[in-house]
Amino acid sequence: MKFLAYAKINIRLKVLGKTEKNYHNLSMVNAKISLADEIEIIEGNENKVSYSIEELNHLQDNLCLNVLNEMVSNFNLKKRYHIYIKKNIPMGAGLGGGSSDVACIINAIDKLHNLNLSLDDKIKIGLKYGADVAYCLIDNVALVEGIGEKITLLNVCFKERVVVVYPNIFVSTKDVFSKVKSYSVENQKDEIVKYIKNKDYKSLLINDLETPSFELNPNLKEIKDTLSLIGNTIMSGSGSSMLVFVNNDEQLKEIIKVYPDFFVVDAYIL
Chain segment 47-86, per-residue pLDDT in tens: 999 999 999 999 889 999 999 999 999 999 999 999 999 9
- Please tell me whether residues 94 and 190 are part of one structural domain: no
The structural domain count of the chain equals 2
Say whether both 72 and 6 belong to one domain: yes
Query: For the chain, what's the residue count?
Result: 270
- Give yes or no for residue 263 having a pLDDT over 80: yes
The average confidence (pLDDT) of the chain is 95
User: Which domain-ending residue is among 153, 182, 201?
Assistant: 153
For the stretch 145-158, pLDDT in tens is: 998 999 999 999 89
3-state secondary structure of 225: helix
| Segment 210-220 mean pLDDT | 95
Q: Identify the CATH number of the domain in which residue 203 sits.
A: 3.30.70.890
Q: Are residues 40 and 91 in the same domain?
A: yes
The residues, any chain, with a CB within 8 Å of residue 8's CB and separated by 6 or more, are 30, 31, 32, 33, 95, 96, 99, 100, 132, 135, 136, 237
Q: 148 and 248 in one domain?
A: no
Single residue among 153, 183, 217 that ends a domain in this structure: 153
Are 193 and 249 members of one domain? Answer: yes
Same domain, 8 and 127: yes
Q: Do 84 and 202 belong to one domain?
A: no
Among 68, 60, 77, 150, CA closest to 101 = 68
Name every residue whose Cβ is closer than 8 Å to that of residue 246 and which is 6 or more positions away in sequence.
161, 162, 163, 230, 231, 252, 255
Distances 124 to 43, 53, 108, 131 between C-alpha atoms, Å: 26, 29, 16, 11
The catalytic residue positions are: 8, 132
100 and 176 in one domain? no
Range of the domain at 263: 161-268
CATH of the domain at 149: 3.30.230.10
pLDDT at 20 over 80: no
Which uninterrupted H or E stretch holds 82?
strand 80-86
Mean pLDDT of 95-105: 96
Q: What is the pTM of this model?
A: 0.93
